[in-house]
Amino acid sequence: MRNKIISWSILAVIAMSVVPLFVSDTFVLRILTEAIMWIGLAIAFDVLAGYTGYLNFGHGAFFGIGAYSTAILMVQANWPFVMALFAGAVITALCALAAGFPTLRLRGAYFAIATWALSLAIQQLALILTITGGPDGMRLPALLNPLYFFYFMLGAVTTTFFLFWFLLEHAPFGLKLKAIREDELGAQSLGLNPTRLKIQAFVLSAVPTGILGGIYAYWITFIDPASTLSDLVSDQALVMVVFGGMGTLIGPVIGAVLIFAFKTVFWAYLSDFQLLYLIILGAVIALCVVFLPNGLWGTIITRNGGNGGMKKSRMIGPKRNQKNADKTQKLAGALKDCVQKEGGE
Amino acid sequence: MATPLLELKSVTKTFGGLTANNQISFKVQTGEIVGLIGPNGAGKTTLFNVISGYYAPSYGQILLNGKDISSKPPYELAGLGIGRTFQVVKPFPGLSVLENVLIASFLRYPKRSHAEKHAWDILELTGLADRAKVSAAGLTLAGRKRLEIGKALALEPTFLLLDEVVAGLNPTEVDLTIELILKLRDQGVTILIVEHIMRVIMRICDRLVVLNFGEKIAEGTPEEISNNPSVIEAYLGDSAA
């Protein structure tokens, strides 16, 4: 299963990287670039939400921090893009460390509220500072080369995906995070330091998000607090992850592709019905939570598991019960005999 | 006498005005099975939580091999060789039985392949191998209690704290668990066990420590304890003593 996922992922990446050879339409390229970006944002969100069990509504803030750091360094300090992007990643990591220590002590809704408040604070900060351009936002030097950004985005997300695959699905780290998600107290007695693991997960989730923010800023050439620092990024990532399947790597990818495709269709072809988009999306999510709590991919792997490991266990289960039932019946029979005998005597 | 594996020196734990453990001192020698008994609310589980690092003692010291381990967090104590089970079992329900044990195995075997081999050995030992791929939530109570022991064992502890691992099991399962505990003792694991079922306690323990209302009221061999008037009083009321 694991190797299959890796081979399919490599195939998908190769397929994506040859797409520009056949498609030269900038509109399509732009849509694809953004879809890839959302895949990256969704899998990064899932590190914390799905694997560790912490819903981070400040996810969008890291996207904005990455975008603004890159933009400020490029515009104010005239740094080249790649250097500014790298510095943006470091700044995002430092911010994640600073935000993680106080907020990761909280659980459940409290963590969600705290991170949400923190992201609002950062948005307000960007609105009042002069270095960020306030509500007017910032304009970056334009590089009108859609192919460059397509490949840059693809490279960044592919790297993130395989890094995550290695850390979360292959190395012990992913299982340790899941242990924290399932039972934080119990995990401690097994030698796991929850604070350290959670901080690591927080940084691991924030850094790719910041990098994607930086690429986005240079690609779109204009950022403002409303587009990069609003709740939109967190909310959208959450919807994609829940729809696709939390706590898996493939789930968020599927969720991101489907939700983004749906959104694009509305945005491009049905713009008169924008309102419907949110209504339908809301309904889909509500239905998904009720009927597919494991998301699309989660439901598929549980089904498939049922043909492999799970079915085996089911075979063992009833058989044993059957044995016990036989025993009980025999026992009941014997008892009956005794009672009858005694009654007869 | 050699340094005891575990030594408690006047360990006290208070919650606000409530003293859950008051000035408790005793020693556990290497290779022993020591039973910790007492009526409900005597402070047994609190003492377990203090020893395993979940609560810091309000006063007093806990020594492991002569070294002070009071107030160290549970995950450091796990590294030092203390394994524990929980009275209210704490499986990771969303993960498979194998993954549950695997997580504990990483402590001693950071490489996944080694950890997996070790986890399978533990599953064989605890009789869970045929249910390895089942979700931990799908186990019976007996299975979950075995998993709890298995997870603690995967840490390769030198000192094991067992909190009511037998309660709620049927007689056959009780015998299997007793067998497992004795096997562990023979392998050199020192055990401190909390249990209400006296049949079990009397059969496996070398020594007993009795708590009542947070204080140690007696210590000795099972025979001594079963004839101790203050223990009988604690369990049955003073008219019986």
Q: What's the maximum distance between 2 C-alpha atoms anywhere in chain B? A: 61
User: Which residues fall within 8 angstroms of residue B95, CB to CB, at 6 or more apart?
Assistant: A175, A178, A179, A182, B103, B135, B136
The DSSP code sequence of A179-220 is HHHH-HHHHHTTT--HHHHHHHHHHHHHHHHHHHHHHHHHHH
For residue B219, the cross-strand partners are B209
Distance, CA of A338 to CA of B94 (rounded, Å): 47
Instruction: Let me know whether A254 and A164 are in one domain.
Output: yes
Distance, CA of A131 to CA of B68 (rounded, Å): 54
pLDDT at A344 over 50: no
Instruction: Let me know whether A149 and A223 are in one domain.
Output: yes
Instruction: Let me know whether A153 and A169 are in one domain.
Output: yes
Tokens representing B155 are 């840490």
Instruction: Let me know whether A320 and A297 are in one domain.
Output: no
Phi, psi angles (nearest 5°) of residue A340? -65, -45
Q: What is the pLDDT of residues A10-42, one digit of tens each?
A: 999 999 998 888 888 888 999 999 999 999 999
Return the residue in B92, B98, B149 with the most chain A beta carbons within 10 A, the one to mutate for interface testing: B92
Give the CATH number of the domain where residue A232 resides.
1.10.3470
**Residue-level pLDDT at A334:** 47
Instruction: Let me know whether A286 and A314 are in one domain.
Output: no
Instruction: Report, as an integer, the average pLDDT of A187-212.
Output: 95
Which member of A172, A182, A193 has the closest CB to residue B106? A172
- The domain in which residue A317 lies consists of 310-345
Cβ density class A153-172: b for 16+ within 10 Å, e for less: bbebbbebbeebbebbbeeb
Q: Which residues of A touch B91 (CB under 8 A)?
A: 183, 186
Do B103 and A187 count as a contact with CB atoms less than 8 A apart? yes
pLDDT at A325 over 60: no
**Residue-level pLDDT at A97:** 95
pLDDT at A209 over 70: yes
**Residue-level pLDDT at A324:** 43
User: Which residues fall within 8 angstroms of residue A138, CB to CB, at 6 or more apart?
Assistant: A68, A71, A72, A75, A132, A217, A222, A223, A224
Distance, CA of A259 to CA of A272 (rounded, Å): 19
Instruction: Let me know whether A237 and A320 are in one domain.
Output: no
Distance, CA of B156 to CA of B151 (rounded, Å): 9
ipTM of the complex: 0.89
Name the DSSP class of B214: T
B240 — pLDDT class (breaks 50, 70, 90): low
A305 — pLDDT class (breaks 50, 70, 90): low
A174 — pLDDT class (breaks 50, 70, 90): very high
**Residue-level pLDDT at A284:** 84
Distance, CA of B83 to CA of A189 (rounded, Å): 7
A103 — pLDDT class (breaks 50, 70, 90): very high
Instruction: Let me know whether A336 and A298 are in one domain.
Output: no
The region that residue B164 occupies, defined by phi over 0 for left and psi between -120 and 50 for alpha, beta otherwise, is left
CA distance B240 to chain A (A): 38
Q: Classify the C-alpha dihedral A207-A210-A214-A215 as positive or negative.
A: positive
pLDDT at A318 over 50: no
Do B106 and A186 count as a contact with CB atoms less than 8 A apart? no
Q: In what order do the strands lie in the sheet with B59-64?
A: B18-28, B6-15, B59-64, B67-68
Instruction: Report, as an integer, the average pLDDT of B72-76.
Output: 95
CA distance B27 to chain A (A): 22
Do B95 and A182 count as a contact with CB atoms less than 8 A apart? yes
Instruction: Report, as an integer, the average pLDDT of B59-78.
Output: 93
CA distance A130 to chain B (A): 46
The region that residue A247 occupies, defined by phi over 0 for left and psi between -120 and 50 for alpha, beta otherwise, is left
A314 — pLDDT class (breaks 50, 70, 90): very low
Which member of B93, B102, B107 has the closest CB to residue A191? B107
CATH 1.10.10.10 fits B6-236, yes or no: no
Count up the domains in chain A and report the number. 2
Distance, CA of B29 to CA of B2 (rounded, Å): 8
Return the residue in B50, B55, B75, B112 with the most chain A beta carbons within 10 A, the one to mutate for interface testing: B75
CA distance A190 to chain B (A): 5
Indicate the pTM of the whole model: 0.85
For residue B207, the cross-strand partners are B34
Instruction: Let me know whether A302 and A341 are in one domain.
Output: no
Instruction: Let me know whether A325 and A265 are in one domain.
Output: no
Instruction: Let me know whether A258 and A338 are in one domain.
Output: no
pLDDT at B99 over 90: yes
Helix, strand, coil fractions of chain B, as percent rounded to 5 = 40, 25, 35
Tokens representing B54 are 């979940």
What 3-state class would DSSP assign to B28?
A: strand
A240 — pLDDT class (breaks 50, 70, 90): very high
